[in-house]
Structure 1
Amino acid sequence: MNFSRLSVLVGAVTAAAVSIAAFPSSAHALDFNWSFSNVTGSTSGTVTGTVNGLVEGANSGGPPAVVTVTSAPLAASAGLGTYTFSDGTFTVTGGNITFADWHGAFGSNNLFLGTNAGGGTYYPQLADTGFNIANSNPGASVSFTSAAVPFDIPGGATIPAVGGLLALGLMRKARKSLASNTRFSEPIREMVS
Structure 2
Amino acid sequence: MPTIEDVIKVHEKVSALSNAPLAIIAGAIWTFIAITFIVFLFKERNKLSLKGLIYSFFSLVILFSVIGYLSFTIKDYQFSMNEKKWEENYLHPYLEALPEKKEYIQDFSQVINHNDENITKSKYRDNDAQPIVVEISKDPGSAEKKMLIQVIVQKEQIDQAYLTYKIIEEDISDEYTKDQYYETVLHIPSDYKIIAPTK
Same fold (TM > 0.5): no
TM-score (norm 2): 0.24
Which structure features the higher share of strand residues? Answer: 1
Which structure features the higher share of helix residues? Answer: 2
